């Protein structure tokens, strides 16, 4: 069994060199009008988008953050694309860092691009053993935003082989419409070694 580093198991097919790799590479080579490719000098994922009416929003709580994470975990285990996307703001900053040999590329995906990536990932056979571990939550002093980081593991199956996919992800969450909403999502995706 091999160990591959990846984030929240999205774009896992890239890690094993099947299905998703050409699609993600296309997204990185031919950005849409709302996608970019480049170095890590793109928009910082840790600056939450401004709240439309911050004064009227309730503060984040550890309980609401834990409920959000539990909901995301369940959606991932069910391979429910819309269940994941319902927690991501339409204007969220979604960064995918992909290492190709000695080079690293960064793609800024739209929510629609991310929907396609999730659909491709969830179509890949797995052992249904997704787990989130080492979750760290940093709640801002004003309780208007939180930075959440965690590690994930999942076993993927290809023919008669299994791959353990390990990864890390960072989310920035703010309150929108009375519920915690992801306004930034960042993950690293290993590409092939060539």
Structure tokens at 99: 């290492």
**Higher-scoring residue by pLDDT: 31, 73:** 73
What digits encode the pLDDT tens for the residues 111-169?
999 999 999 989 999 998 999 999 999 999 999 999 999 998 899 888 889 988 887 89
User: CA 45, 87, 121 angle in degrees (round to 5)?
Assistant: 80
**Distance (Å, whole) CA 34 – CA 116:** 15
Min mean pLDDT across 6-10, 53-57, 97-101, 179-183 is at: 6-10
112 vs 7, 35, 94, 95, 101, CA distance in Å?
19, 11, 11, 13, 28
CB 151 within 8 A of CB 134: yes
**Distance (Å, whole) CA 131 – CA 164:** 11
pLDDT above 60 (res 42): no
- pLDDT, residue 50, reads 52
CB 167 within 8 A of CB 9: yes
- pLDDT, residue 194, reads 43
- pLDDT, residue 70, reads 97
Domains (range + CATH), the chain: 2-49+58-190 (3.10.450.50)
**Distance (Å, whole) CA 176 – CA 182:** 9
- pLDDT, residue 113, reads 96
- pLDDT, residue 165, reads 81
- pLDDT, residue 191, reads 57
């Amino acid at each position: 069994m091999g160990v591959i580093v990846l984030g929240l198991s999205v774009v896992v097919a890239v890690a094993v060199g099947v299905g998703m790799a050409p699609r993600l590479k296309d997204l990185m080579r031919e950005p849409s009008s709302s996608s970019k490719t480049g170095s890590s000098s793109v928009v910082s994922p840790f600056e939450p988008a401004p709240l439309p009416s911050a004064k009227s929003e309730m503060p984040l709580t550890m309980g609401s953050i834990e409920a959000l994470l539990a909901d995301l975990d369940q959606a991932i285990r069910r391979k429910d694309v819309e269940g994941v996307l319902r927690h991501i703001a339409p204007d969220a900053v979604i960064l995918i860092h992909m290492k190709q040999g000695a080079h690293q590329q960064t793609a800024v995906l739209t929510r629609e691009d991310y929907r396609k990536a999730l659909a491709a990932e969830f179509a890949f056979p797995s052992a249904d053993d997704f787990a989130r571990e080492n979750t760290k939550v940093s709640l801002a002093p004003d309780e208007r935003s939180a930075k959440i980081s965690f590690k994930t593991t999942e076993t993927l199956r290809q023919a008669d082989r299994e791959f353990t996919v390990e990864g890390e992800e960072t989310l920035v969450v703010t309150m929108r419409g009375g519920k915690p909403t992801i306004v930034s999502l960042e993950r690293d995706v290993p590409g092939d070694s060539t």
